[in-house]
């Protein structure tokens, strides 16, 4: 048996630090995307944004981005 990586899931960090995403959104999986950078690039095609905050990145879905 051989195990393969399923890639990386990027989930929405909500509209702000105190509020969780109301949709529990995640970037849709694409066949060739295995790294976080590739998955974030897929998300940008779907309207996601990435914000750099001290210490990490915040990924925000299209719904939360407009809030």
Which residue did the predictor score with more confidence, 14 or 32? 14
Q: In percent, how much of the chain has pLDDT > 90?
A: 48
Average pLDDT of the chain?
Answer: 87
At residue 33, the pLDDT reads 85
Which spans in the chain are helix H?
36-45, 62-65
Q: What is the pTM of this model?
A: 0.78
* Per-domain residue ranges of the chain: 1-67
Q: Is the pLDDT of residue 48 over 80?
A: yes
Distance from the Cα of residue 47 to its chain's centroid: 11
């Amino acid at each position: 048996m051989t195990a393969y990586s399923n890639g990386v899931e990027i989930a929405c960090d909500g509209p702000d630090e105190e509020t969780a995403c109301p949709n529990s959104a995640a970037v849709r999986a694409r066949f060739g995307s295995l790294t976080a950078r590739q998955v974030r690039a897929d998300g940008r095609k779907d309207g996601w944004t990435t914000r750099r905050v001290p210490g990490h990145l915040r990924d925000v879905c299209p719904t939360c981005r407009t809030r």
